[in-house]
Structure 1
Amino acid sequence: MAPTFADCFDYSTKKEVRIQSVPLGVLKCCITFGVIVFVCFSLITQKSYQKKDSVISSVHTKVKGFANAYSRIWDTAEYTVPSPGGDSFFVVTNIVKTENQRQDNCSELPSQKTICSRDDVCKKGLADPQSNGIQTGRCINFNSTLKTCEVSAWCPVESQTTPVPAVLESAENFTVLIKNNIHFAAFNFTKKNILPKYNVSCIYDRVKAPLCPIFRLGDILREAGENFSQVAVLGGVIGIEINWDCDLDSLRYKCEPHYSFRRLNNKVVDERLYPGLNFRFARHYKTSDGKDTRTLIKAYGIRFDIQVYGTGGKFSLFELAIFIGSCLSYFGCASLAIDFIIGLYKPCCCNAKSVLKYYNDRKYEMVPGPAVPLCFSKSQLKFVSFADEEDILMVDNNLKDSLQFASGRYIQRERFAYTEANCKDSHKQNESEMRLIKGSSTTLPPAWCKCNKCIDVTQPEEQLCCRLGEGQCITDTKIFNYLVLNKEALEYAFQYDNPLSKTPESEDLKCYAKQKYIEWRFRCRRYMLDFAVIPSCCKNAIETCNLQTQHPSGALYLPPTHGMC
């Protein structure tokens, strides 16, 4: 049939197989409920319905405080080097001062490279980055017991002794004012951390004053888990983190800074080579004799790095639609899990009558694949059935010769074959059981039998009667004898399936009779046939009966069609 214009406007939908199963239903409900909880939790806590924007920030700081050390007053200009401002500030906490240094020759500080006993150990012109100057090639006395190489440098050289406790240990009482302005460009929103009702006398406290922008330096280190007196000796780096997590929706508006503190430098690893944090600077002047002189200061201190981060969010219908669309795929987890359970069945390793096989056969349909890729195939599909072949030949490639000799793939014919395990052995076993029963006239039918014609069997899965309640046995009906126990009818149906086959043996014919009974009682519902169980009374009647050759009335019985299908 040629395609029409209306075919462009059809609608296709997937076919579903609904499995009525309590365990699978409970599993589906649990997974679906879990997905709903996860989606709601993510929607509320992560505010996935909002459009997000990152913060743009600027920071300005002012440090204040005074200290009395080394017989002098230290103010902001003395202990903040360089000048305060920007995203970080440095506070001097300890110093090593070397005064009245002049350009001259003097002995180097003792070390493995500078200790000497004669002049040839010292190399003239050597400028070691770890030394204080350039060696002159001479070995001179450092003190009464030790000699070191002479260097041309600012003399006397810097002392290596660090004061303990720190010179400016009282700097923990200094305060710093942090001014932080933020802006969310996507929402044209600007705010600062100094509130309109700013109290100039407040000091930050995590509980009592969490929004105060004035911080005591000792409190900052305590919040970071450090001791100010210990860090002040060699210095360190402390991070001040300001987090702006703003909800800009009018009904739930909240935009306030959250402060946190932590130490940034690794005090365990770094301090083995370059302890703490320090730098050097000099103050130059001329003496009365006109010579250049300087005071060298090695300053230890704490650098405070201010890090501002955060996001602002505002309701967006577009973002909500994207979130809902992405979450819909999560609801497929239930189907994925159940399909995985059903798909565990493998015909090569599982029982042919397992529960998994039943659901596997009902859910999946096996279709042979094409011999060549579909996009390159231009041949017509043909199915061929030969009388002397059980299966059907599928030819989907171009013919180079007669169709009689065409190659292709064989497809199993859709038919039901009685597959009860060891049919002949079962036949012998049933005959043996019948002899035992007939030999004892006092044997009563088993308790589960309702028609009084079942034989007692030990396997629970075979303990089945043709009736649910007391009454006549189905084996006493004419239709049972017509369809199941008529020999010529069975031979006719057998050869209908296999046209060139010989007349089946008696035992094979009895197995075929069982197949016809199942086709009759289960109406050829393919998914039921492989799992059907024949009642004990019916199986007994087939096994112990000499199949009739003719219809009980004398006429040959031939079914009008193939079986019941």
Structure 2
Amino acid sequence: MMTIKVNRIGYFHRSIQFVVVLYATVYVLWYAQGYQDYDNARGVFYVKVKGYGQTEGGVVYDAADIVVPPLEPESVFITTALVRTIQQRDICVSSSKCVNDSGCVSLESTEGLILSTCNKTSPITSTGYCLMNGWCPAENDSVSGTDYLHHLDNVSLFIRSSGNYLAFDYSFSDPLNPVPGRNLFYFKDLFKGTQFTQDNCTKLGCIITLNIDWTCDLNKGNCLPTYKFYGTNLGFNYREIIYHNSTTRELTKIYGLKLLVTVSGVGGKFSFFRLVIALGSNLALVTACTLITDLILLAWFRGTLQQRKYDHFGGEATNPQTDNPKPMSY
């Protein structure tokens, strides 16, 4: 073994060893918690809605009315506006404009079967509307002030989640009773942290996602969830039909807030096996520091290394490439 005394190389060697040790202690063990084993949470939830809404006409809708359908997988829907149209099977005007009968020929519509007849309100008008065979009158697709539900701020949602970490045999759950700020939310709270406003969502409908995150350090015992709302889509509605008989029906276009709920999380717990792996891998990095130093010696200090090698064996340094060797005698 040969010892080479070069201060710059020594300082460099100790410096990279210090960086590796700092990386192992600060990042791997402290920040990344490399001594822990991890498992993904598996959870479920249920939602209870209470409260009411009221139209400008004084019609009150309670929780059973505004939560439709009453049971929906992984989500809940809260009605904010309703547009009703009473329809009968008949012939009536459509929303397709025309100038004469030829403008209605081969015309297609989602409202019903367009007839080749242009209906004008008076002979002096230049345009009219094509007649159609279908459900009449055509659906009222515009939302007016009388269609909105007011006083929705009193609507509350009790969201209780529970689950477990199977790898650690650890279970978690929300309290059985509502706790404001944790598992009890009011309608206005659903828009916090999203790009939507309550007014826009009431008029157009919207989809909001709630993520319940149960990420926690199981070494510390009790875990508490965090709740975060995300605006997914502005604009959401669907239609509901009630048939009175074969020729009469009630068509309702329903706007509202669709709340999607997800339960996620990552649980970490101390593992001696993980600790040994983390320490062993970083010890290997410390050992590699010597190899890195040797490579730098060979690349940048070849001349100095060669000279120290000759001096190491004592006597006058000779260079076999330049000095003439003495003849050997027998």
TM-score by length of 2: 0.83
Amino acid paired to 2:79: V
Q: CA deviation at 1:108?
A: 1.6
Please say if residues 242 and 258 of structure 1, whose CA atoms lie closer than 8 Å, have aligned partners that are also in contact.
yes
Do residues 358 (structure 1) and 303 (structure 2) align? Answer: yes
Q: CA deviation at 1:94?
A: 2.1
Taking a change above 3 Å as real, the CA distance of residues 119 and 166 of structure 1, as seen in their structure-2 partners, is closer
1-structure distance, mates of 2:262, 2:253: 27
Aligned partner of 1:326 in structure 2 is 281
2-structure distance, mates of 1:123, 1:360: 97
Q: Which structure has the bigger radius of gyration?
A: 1
Taking a change above 3 Å as real, the CA distance of residues 68 and 27 of structure 1, as seen in their structure-2 partners, is same
List runs of 5+ in structure 2 lacking aligned partners: none
1:66-81 equivalence runs, <5 A: 66-69=52-55, 70-81=57-68
List runs of 5+ in structure 1 lacking aligned partners: 1-14, 205-211, 268-275, 346-355, 365-415, 417-517, 531-559
Q: CA deviation at 1:244?
A: 0.9
Please say if residues 164 and 233 of structure 1, whose CA atoms lie closer than 8 Å, have aligned partners that are also in contact.
no
Please say if residues 4 and 305 of structure 2, whose CA atoms lie closer than 8 Å, have aligned partners that are also in contact.
no
2-structure distance, mates of 1:316, 1:281: 55
2-structure distance, mates of 1:94, 1:222: 21
Aligned-partner SS, 2:34: coil
1:363-388 Cα shifts (integer Å, max 9, x gaps): 99xxxxxxxxxxxxxxxxxxxxxxxx
1-structure distance, mates of 2:14, 2:5: 13
Taking a change above 3 Å as real, the CA distance of residues 359 and 261 of structure 1, as seen in their structure-2 partners, is farther
2-structure distance, mates of 1:321, 1:142: 88
Please say if residues 99 and 126 of structure 2, whose CA atoms lie closer than 8 Å, have aligned partners that are also in contact.
no
TM-score by length of 1: 0.51
Do residues 523 (structure 1) and 303 (structure 2) align? Answer: no
2-structure distance, mates of 1:316, 1:153: 70
1-structure distance, mates of 2:8, 2:92: 92
One of 88, 97, 103 as aligned partner of 1:121: 103
Taking a change above 3 Å as real, the CA distance of residues 307 and 332 of structure 1, as seen in their structure-2 partners, is farther
Aligned-partner SS, 1:162: coil
Taking a change above 3 Å as real, the CA distance of residues 127 and 322 of structure 1, as seen in their structure-2 partners, is farther
Q: CA deviation at 1:254?
A: 3.5
2-structure distance, mates of 1:332, 1:127: 78
Do residues 261 (structure 1) and 213 (structure 2) align? Answer: no
1:336-392 Cα shifts (integer Å, max 9, x gaps): 6545655655xxxxxxxxxx332575899xxxxxxxxxxxxxxxxxxxxxxxxxxxx
Aligned partner of 2:180 in structure 1 is 203
Amino acid paired to 2:223: C
1-structure distance, mates of 2:308, 2:204: 74
Q: CA deviation at 1:102?
A: 0.7
1:293-319 Cα shifts (integer Å, max 9, x gaps): 222111111111111111222222222
Do residues 218 (structure 1) and 188 (structure 2) align? Answer: yes
2-structure distance, mates of 1:522, 1:137: 117
Q: CA deviation at 1:221?
A: 0.5
Aligned-partner SS, 2:215: strand
Taking a change above 3 Å as real, the CA distance of residues 329 and 67 of structure 1, as seen in their structure-2 partners, is same
One of 4, 14, 22 as aligned partner of 1:29: 14
Please say if residues 94 and 163 of structure 1, whose CA atoms lie closer than 8 Å, have aligned partners that are also in contact.
no
1:101-180 equivalence runs, <5 A: 101-109=87-95, 114-124=96-106, 127-128=108-109, 131-141=110-120, 146-163=127-144, 167-180=148-161
Do residues 44 (structure 1) and 30 (structure 2) align? Answer: yes
1-structure distance, mates of 2:64, 2:291: 69
Ranked by relative contact order (alpha carbons within 8 Å, sequence separation 6 or more), the top structure is: 2
Q: CA deviation at 1:43?
A: 1.8
1:270-349 equivalence runs, <5 A: 276-286=235-245, 292-331=247-286, 334-335=289-290, 338=293, 341-342=296-297
Taking a change above 3 Å as real, the CA distance of residues 105 and 188 of structure 1, as seen in their structure-2 partners, is same
Q: CA deviation at 1:44?
A: 2.5
Please say if residues 222 and 228 of structure 1, whose CA atoms lie closer than 8 Å, have aligned partners that are also in contact.
no
1-structure distance, mates of 2:307, 2:104: 94
Bigger fraction of residues in strand = 2
Please say if residues 172 and 228 of structure 1, whose CA atoms lie closer than 8 Å, have aligned partners that are also in contact.
no
Q: CA deviation at 1:191?
A: 1.9
Q: CA deviation at 1:277?
A: 0.9
Aligned-partner SS, 2:167: coil
Please say if residues 108 and 142 of structure 1, whose CA atoms lie closer than 8 Å, have aligned partners that are also in contact.
no
Q: CA deviation at 1:64?
A: 1.1
Tell me how many residue pairs correspond in the alignment. Answer: 321
1-structure distance, mates of 2:213, 2:308: 54
Taking a change above 3 Å as real, the CA distance of residues 29 and 303 of structure 1, as seen in their structure-2 partners, is farther
2-structure distance, mates of 1:60, 1:191: 15
Aligned-partner SS, 2:265: strand
2-structure distance, mates of 1:133, 1:320: 71
Over the matched positions of the two proteins, sequence identity in percent amounts to 26
Please say if residues 343 and 360 of structure 1, whose CA atoms lie closer than 8 Å, have aligned partners that are also in contact.
yes
Aligned partner of 1:413 in structure 2 is none
Amino acid paired to 2:65: E
Aligned partner of 1:234 in structure 2 is 204
